[in-house]
Amino acid sequence: MLREVTATRYVAPLHSGGSVPGVVEADDLGTYVVKFTGSAQGHKALVAEIVVGELARALGLRFPELVLVHFDPWIADAEPHQEVRDLHGASAGVNLGMDLLPGAADLTPEIARSFAVDPVEAGRIVWLDALTVNVDRTVHSSNLMVWPTLGTVPPRLWLIDHGAALVFHHRWDTTTPGKRYDFRHHALGRYGPDTRAADAELAPRVTGELLRAILAEVPDAWLAEDAGFASPDDVREAYVAYLLARVRLSSQWLPTDFPTGAELAAEEAARAAKSQAARPAWLKRVPDLHGKPAAEQDWSAHLG
C-alpha cells in the first residue's frame, strides 16, 4: 500500500503544471510534489497517476515513489496568489505526492539530441503509454525527467505525470479496448522503440492479480463519485477488466511506425515555414522561437 505522510511545510507552487501542484516537506523528512484533489482535473487524474505509475514500477520502469499526503491548508496560508489558496482550501485532507527528484531536468528536444536511450527501454515506455492510452508524452511535452544530472552516476530516464492517461475512464467507453492511437510523435520515437520486444516481455506480466493489487492502493473516496457503479470495488473491477482486455488485444494497438530524427526535423522545418508564412508583414522580422531553440536562431537580420 502507498505510505501516508503529513505535510509539515509548504515550499512553493509549480505554475508550470496545469493543475498547479505544490512542493511540500513532510513528517518523514521527504520532499514531494503534491497534486491536489481540489484541482480542475479532479480525482480521476489522481487515479490515473496511481494506476499508471505503479504499473510502470511493477514492470521495471523508473518512477518516483508515490505517497498519500495529508494536507492542512493552514501550512500554506502565506501563499500570495488567491487562486492557489483557493486550490489549497479545496484540498484539505488526503492528496497525492510524488517523491521530488532534486535537480532533475526535463527531457526537452534539445537534451534529446545528445541523450542516448536504448531502443529496448524506449519500447517499454512507449508500450506502457499505448496500453494505458497516455497520449501526453510528446516531443514537446515529454513528461520524462533525466536524473541525476550531477555526480558520477549515469543519468537515467524517469517517468512522471500520468494524469492524462486512461482516457476511457472519463466516459467509460468499454467498447473499444483494441483502439489504436497515434504515437508517431511520442517523445521517444526518435530512438527506434522496440515495441514488439516490449510486448512479448511485458504483456504476460500484466495480470488481473497485479492490476487488482494496484487498484487497491487508490483511496475509496477517489472512486466513490464515479457514476454508474455501486461501490468503489466495482470501479476497481472496471479498470481491471478494461486493461486486461486491452493487453490481450495488443496486436491491434501496438505502435510500430515512428518517424526518424531526420523526418521529425523536416516536419518541424515545414511547420515553422508555414507558421512564418502565415504571419502578418509586421511580424515577419520577429524570430519564430517555436521553430528551433533560441540559441540556434539567426538573429543577424534582426539586429541594428
> Is the bond leading into 293 cis (omega within 30 degrees of zero)?
no
pTM value? 0.88
pLDDT of residue 271: 82
pLDDT of residue 225: 84
Cα separation of 96 and 68, whole Å?
Answer: 5
Q: Is the pLDDT of residue 215 over 50?
A: yes
Q: Which of 49-53, 209-213, 217-221, 272-276 has the lowest mean pLDDT?
A: 272-276
**Burial class of residue 209, CB neighbours in 10 A (0-12, 13-18, 19+):** exposed
Q: What is the pLDDT of residues 250-292, one digit of tens each?
A: 999 999 999 877 787 788 788 888 888 887 776 666 555 554 4
Q: What value does the mean pLDDT of the chain take?
A: 91
Identify the residue with better confidence: 16 or 69.
69
Cα separation of 272 and 62, whole Å?
Answer: 34
pLDDT of residue 299: 30
Domains of the chain: 3-99 (no CATH), 105-253 (1.10.1070), 261-296 (no CATH)
pLDDT of residue 300: 33
* Mean of pLDDT values over 75-96: 96
The answer for residues whose C-beta is within 8 angstroms of residue 169's C-beta and 6 or more apart is 44, 47, 48, 226, 238, 239
Q: Please choose, from the candidates 285, 12, 47, the residue with its C-alpha nearest in 3D space to the C-alpha of residue 165.
A: 47
Q: What is the pLDDT of residues 29-39, one digit of tens each?
A: 999 999 999 99
Q: Which of 1-10, 82-91, 167-176, 206-215 has the lowest mean pLDDT?
A: 167-176
Q: What is the pLDDT of residues 32-69, one digit of tens each?
A: 999 999 999 999 999 999 999 999 999 999 999 999 99
- Which amino acid is residue 211, in one-letter code? L
